[in-house]
Amino acid sequence: MATWIWIVIAIAAVVVLAVFLFAGRKAKQRRAVAEQREQAQELRQEATQRHRTAKERESLAQELAERAKAERKEGDKAAAQAARVDPDRD
């Protein structure tokens, strides 16, 4: 066989190998991007859940603070009533 045929076959083999390597890299990149998207979606879901939980806790804390304020007011009224009724008062 002529030398030029072997050269053409070698070049064709190198080109085919390069195409396979390039396609493999692209597939690997696509998989990596898909994994990153999946991870980002999970992080978004976790952030949304944490935000929701924090908002619920904030609401509960505000409600408890309002109750405590009301109870403090009632305690102050009771203390004032006790001070008015106390016979040993100055």
Sequence-separated (6 or more) residues with CB below 8 Å from residue 83? 89
Is residue 62 a part of any domain in this protein? yes
Q: Which domain holds residue 44?
A: 31-75
Residue 8 lies in a domain: no
Domain count, the chain: 1
Asked if residue 3 belongs to a domain, the reply is no
pLDDT tens, residue by residue, 2-37 = 898 999 999 999 999 999 999 999 999 999 999 999
Do the domain assignments include residue 71?
yes
Residue 84 lies in a domain: no
| Residue pLDDT, tens place only, 43-90 | 999 999 999 999 999 999 999 999 999 999 999 999 888 888 877 766
**Residue 26 included in any domain:** no
Query: Do residues 83 and 89 lie in contact, with contact meaning Cβ atoms separated by under 8 Å?
Result: yes
Radius of gyration of the chain (CA): 38
